[in-house]
Amino acid sequence: MFTFAHLKKGGVYIMLIIPIKDGENIDRALKRYKRKFDKTGTVRQLRARTAFIKPSVTNRIKIQKAAYIQNMRDNLES
């Protein structure tokens, strides 16, 4: 069983646990670990905290993303 990466979620540390099945390749288990680690978003969160972004900028980015997604959906429908 793999146990890597102590992650902090909501003030509580959690640990990723990857159970290895009998006869499973170690590369496959590592791939599952990496996928699970990516889903937690730890690296994205760390990179986002390296620099302060003003709330107005984050709101503008959210509005731009929403407009882009809406435009894509409109293009698919027509």
pLDDT in tens, 15-60: 888 888 889 898 999 999 999 889 888 888 888 889 999 999 999 9
How far apart CA 29 and CA 69 sit, in angstroms, is 35
Residue 27 lies inside a defined structural domain of this protein: yes
- Residues 59-71 pLDDT 10s: 999 999 999 999 9
User: 14 with 35, same domain?
Assistant: yes
User: 4 with 34, same domain?
Assistant: yes
Burial of 15 (0-12, 13-18, 19+ CB in 10 A): exposed
User: 57 with 31, same domain?
Assistant: no
Which of 3, 17, 7, 15 shows the shortest CA–CA distance to 45? 7
Residue 60 lies inside a defined structural domain of this protein: yes
User: 36 with 57, same domain?
Assistant: no
How far apart CA 38 and CA 7 sit, in angstroms, is 12
Whether 10 and 41 have beta carbons less than 8 Å apart is answered as: no
Residue 67 lies inside a defined structural domain of this protein: yes
Q: Name the residue range of residue 59's domain.
A: 52-78
**For the whole model, what pTM was predicted?**
0.51
Residue 45 lies inside a defined structural domain of this protein: no
